[in-house]
């Protein structure tokens, strides 16, 4: 069986990057309503549609940001598990 080598510091770096991207994407969600700031002057049906779109986009971005952040956290946890395994199960390797 081929050897599997994991570099925990690389996992931690990737996890931190993913968490930052998740935070950035979640931050975009709050700006979604700014997209329709000028839509209030539009006819009520158009303004309603724009607000509905912005609300859906904000919700989707918030969910996506949460998922990407979760991926980063999980990657960081995996790094910790690899470090624990290396330290406790395979000492000196």
Q: What is the pLDDT of residues 6-31, one digit of tens each?
A: 899 999 999 999 999 999 999 988 88
pLDDT at residue 38 in the model: 59
- The whole domain housing 45 covers 10-84
Number of Cβ within a 10 Å radius of residue 27: 12
> Does 3 map to a domain?
no
Alpha-carbon distances of 80 from 71, 75, 88, rounded to whole Å: 14, 9, 12
**Whether residue 76 has pLDDT greater than 90:** yes
> Does 80 map to a domain?
yes
> Does 92 map to a domain?
no
pLDDT tens per residue, range 25-74: 999 888 876 776 656 677 888 888 888 888 888 899 999 999 999 999 99
pLDDT at residue 40 in the model: 65
> Does 67 map to a domain?
yes
> Does 20 map to a domain?
yes
Identify the residue with better confidence: 75 or 86. 75
Number of Cβ within a 10 Å radius of residue 55: 13
């Amino acid at each position: 069986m081929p050897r599997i080598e994991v570099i925990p510091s690389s996992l931690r770096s990737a996890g931190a990057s993913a968490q930052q991207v998740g935070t950035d994407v979640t931050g975009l969600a709050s700006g979604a309503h700014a997209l329709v700031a000028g839509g209030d002057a539009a006819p009520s049906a158009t303004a309603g549609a724009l607000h509905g779109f912005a609300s859906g986009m904000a919700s989707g971005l918030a969910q996506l940001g949460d998922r990407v952040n979760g991926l980063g956290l999980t990657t960081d946890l995996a790094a910790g598990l690899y470090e624990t395994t290396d330290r406790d199960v395979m000492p000196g390797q």
